[in-house]
Structures are given as structure tokens and as C-alpha cells.
Amino acid sequence: MTKEIALKDRIIVALDVDQREKAQDIVRACESHVGFFKVGLQLFMADYFNTVDWILDRGHKVMLDLKFFDIPETVKLAVEQVNNRGVSLATIHGNDPIIRAALEARGDMKLLAVTVLTSFGEEDMRAMGLTGSLAELVLFRARRALELGCDGVVSSGLEVEGLRAELGSRLLIVTPGIRPGANVKTDDDQVRVVTAGSAIQSGADHLVVGRPITRAEDPIRVIEAMQAEIVGAA
């Protein structure tokens, strides 16, 4: 493992639902084993900071995954709205001016720059006329985010090893697209996926896991299996 992070905080359960009550049910079902939860755009639009506050009141941590992307001043003002809310991690997209604006407004939370979404694959790069590889693009964006002062990045597990090799332990790496079993394509919208053990072994700090846990008949069994992988990868 790259950093001293409690096992309970390694997995960030993604509350990708449309109602506060659904999110609360998931938290209650998982909180005996997990202490970190992600609130994304869907839930935030439905419930604003109410669920965030509720999670924090229960003694857990929150990753606010809104991926801010707008003109720099708007991003700066948006980040200011998150300050002093108790959020541990927040995500941003953007070029240099946007990232600088977000960092200028950052309080005590950590800012993560999104490199390339895990739903984006090599074929998408070709369709957009981009040259090079996805790994090169992720590394370029991660290196720039680190140089500008971001605390870390969001990256697929497929690129984590390369990021660690080039950038060392200076940045926090949060990895979505975690799936049980073999690293194969899934039938959902995630393209670049890895297992929990593989991501940690490559150097990821936190793993964002949604559907494999939230749609499982026994979420704790899935969590325990992934945590066993995490420990085994240490």
C-alpha cells in the first residue's frame, strides 16, 4: 500500500442513486465495514448537501464527485461553496486556468483532477482524432495537475502503475471502475476496469465502488471480499 490509510477508508462506496432515502439505506447497509462514501451529480442534484451532512453526522467521510468544469471564476465560486462543509475529497475537470482557480478557492478539503473517465476507451480517442495512447493522456493530465498543486487525481486502475512510476507517492490516486473477478469488459458503461487487489497493488490509494456493492444481495460479503484483496495486495 502506498500510504497509511485505514482499511475501512480504502473503499469509497458510490451512492449513485436518485433519492436521499436510497442513499441512506446503502450507507446503513455498509457502514459497519466502510467509512467513506461518494456523493455524485445525480444524488447532489436531488438532495443538495442534505445527504452529505447526514453522512458526516454519522462520522463518515465524503467524496463530493461533481467534476467542476466551467469558466475559471465560476469554478472558483463553486469550490468556495464546498469549503467548510466537511467534505474530504472533491473532483474537478479542466485546463490550467480552471485548475488554478479551483486551487485558489480550496479550503481544507483535497482536490482531485479527473484524468480520463473510465467510460472512455481507445476507440473513443480515435473517434475524437486524439493521437497517442490513453495511458499517455492520463499521465500528461496527472503530471500537470500535480505541478499546479492538485492533491491527487482520479484514474482508472489500468494507468495507476504508470502514474506511480513517473510521479511517485506525491499524489493521491482514487480509482473507479472496480469490479469483482477478472479484469474483463463489463455489460455496463465502464470500459477500463480492474479488480480491487490489482488497483491497490498498482498503487491506488482509494477505490470507488458502486454497483458491485450497492446492487448486491449481500453488500457486506462483496465488501469483505474486496477488503481481503486489498490486504493481500499490501
DSSP-assigned letters across all residues of 58-77? TT-EEEEEEEE-S-HHHHHH
| The total number of structural domains that make up the chain | 1
Cα 219–chain centre separation: 19
State residue 13's pLDDT score. Answer: 98
What percentage of the chain reaches a pLDDT higher than 90? Answer: 77
Q: Which of the following is catalytic: 8, 22, 38, 67? A: 67
In a domain, 35, yes or no: yes
The whole-angstrom separation of Cα 102 and Cα 171 is 17
Q: Give the pLDDT score at 1.
A: 41
Residues of the domain holding 176:
7-232
Q: Within a domain: residue 2? A: no
Q: Which residues of the chain have pLDDT under 50?
A: 1-2, 182-186
The neighbouring-strand residues paired with 68 are: 92
Nearest to 226 by CA among 7, 5, 39, 62: 7
127 part of a folded domain: yes
The verdict on residue 70 lying in a domain is yes
Tell me what pLDDT residue 124 has.
67
Q: Alpha-carbon distance 151 to 147, whole Å?
A: 10
Q: What is the pLDDT of residue 180?
A: 84
Per-residue pLDDT tens over the stretch 102-152: 999 999 999 999 997 777 766 766 777 777 788 888 899 999 999 999 999
Residue 1 lies in a domain: no
Which of 233, 92, 80 lies closest to 152, judged by CA? 92
Question: What CATH number is given to the structural domain containing 162?
Answer: 3.20.20.70
Say if 155 falls within a structural domain.
yes
Tell me whether residue 29 is in a domain. Answer: yes
Known active-site residue 185 = no
pLDDT value of residue 126:
72
Residue 207 lies in a domain: yes
